[in-house]
Amino acid sequence: MKVLDALNAATKPIVSLEITPPDKGRSIDELFVTLDHLMKYEPAFIDVTYHQPHVVYEERDGVIYRVPKRKKPGTVGICAAIKNRYGVEPVPHFICGGFTKFETEDALIDLHYLGITNILAIRGDPPPGHRTFIPEKEGHRYASELVHQIANMNRGIYLEELEDAEPTNFCIGVAGYPEKHYEAPSFEKDLQNLKHKVEQGAHYVITQMFFDFQVFKRFVEQARDMGITVPIIPGVKPLTRVNQLVSIPRNFYVSIPHHIVEAMEAAKTPDAARKVGIAKTVELCEQLLDFGVPGLHIYTMGRGNATAQVLHALLG
């Protein structure tokens, strides 16, 4: 089932998860242990992240070679495994970086043949070691361009003119940023960019993590005022450790309200800090559900215990 169909058919807010592939050399069984524990909460879909490789240059016999080294491969394989093992719809992240538009088309055809009909289309971060995003020579610079290419394929329009081309059937999700994307000059400009992605063919929005309900509420209200009508699913990350109060804002360009920082830092032990973080996450989710969100998208980071605690508190 496509994500949009699941949202339209739901009689209550859905639950969805986001996982990260294991590091190269690790077993997929690590993910299965996490997901086995979470299946009782009946996730409607599971996002699987994808990241640009770290490119290094190596000299061999006097010749310089460009060698991409990917830390977390396997996104498409994991998606196929999830669909086969659990019967849950996987949603691979599809990025602009590292692909030409021709390679993008070929990869989309592979997903189409696999029966994977959901995609989260994002620009993606710069590769490790780079501060700015640089597209491939014949690649996409913006997520809106990627969305447009996927939407064209849904209409049977490929990069080369084909007779009687079969259209694909992708449901396209995009990212939204309640505190704005870190590269956007203003919140309003970032909302305009989001609207453009929707106009290019996006069917729904999943937000970056946030920790203040009022931040999300403002984002949704201003998005609606701007004419963005597609479903907006909030992304939630359970807090479990005091060091996340520094690492999450640094790595994801989001803020954490002072009342959460103060409460977690006042905890006497790591276990007490974890309990505070989980309780604050549950409180945020309850506010979101009261607000009438279509679902909750939980960033698990491949670890399921905190997610299970939050969902148990919400759903029993």
- Both tokens of 29, joined, read 């069984």
Q: Which of 18, 89, 145, 179 is catalytic?
A: 18
How far is it, in rounded angstroms, from Cα 102 to Cα 87? 31
Best CA proximity match to 86, nearest among 137, 143, 48: 48
Contact 42, 15 (CB under 8 A): yes
- Which structure tokens are listed for 130? 């780079």
d(CA 237, CA 206) in angstroms, rounded, equals 13
| Nearest-angstrom CA–CA distance, 180 and 223 | 12
Q: Which of 145, 165, 67 is nearest to 101 (CA)?
A: 145
- Residue 18 annotated to the active site: yes
Q: Which residues form the catalytic set?
A: 18
